[in-house]
Amino acid sequence: MTTVSSSSRQTVELAPFYGLPVALIVAAVPLLFLQIWVSLAIALLGTFLLFQTVVIRLRFTETDLDVYRGDRLLRRFPYRDWQNWRIFWPSLPILFYFREVNSIHFLPVLFDPQVLRQCLETRCPRS
């Protein structure tokens, strides 16, 4: 976890978590002997997620969840618009869901799952 301070507010940038993409790539290897096309599809998905893990960053600010690619802001999600959030399968977190007033978002867990949960509970507590 990287913490960036800006004046009196604290911004938390989540560290990358390579568990999901690496697990998909490893799972594709034995499938290669059973179903080559399924194996290739899973390996391709794992490789894509590995690339995303390297380049995408989530930053929790005081008021928003910001999604960055490198230093470029891709999207800002203000907490005031959030209605609900959930991390699926807490023992093996692979999917992060949150609902805003006008849309629903699903993100693979490519970030430190414990810090993700802590930031969500602190900045956007469930009602």
Binned at pLDDT 50, 70 and 90, residue 3 comes out as: very low
For the record, the structure tokens of 31 come out as 């499938």
Predicted confidence at residue 89, as pLDDT, reads 83
Residue-wise pLDDT for 38-78, tens only, equals: 999 999 999 999 999 999 999 999 999 999 998 999 999 99
- Match 């805003």 to its residue by tokens: 100
Query: Percent of the chain scored above 90 by pLDDT?
Result: 65
pTM of the entire predicted model: 0.78
**Amino acid sitting at position 11:** T
Tokens of 51: 């690339």
pLDDT at residue number 79:
92
pLDDT per residue as tens digits for the range 16-27: 999 899 999 999
Q: How many domains does the chain have?
A: 1
Predicted local confidence at residue 7, as pLDDT: 37
User: Cα dist. 28→17, 38, 43, 50, 89 in Å?
Assistant: 19, 8, 5, 14, 21
Residue with token string 């490519």: 110
Mean of pLDDT over the chain: 88
Beta-carbon contacts of residue 72 (< 8 Å; ≥ 6 apart): none
88, two tokens: 């699926």
Q: Can you give the CATH number for the domain in which 89 is found?
A: 2.30.29
Enclosing domain of residue 108: 2-123
Cα distance between residue 73 and residue 122, in whole Å: 22
Amino acid sitting at position 84: N
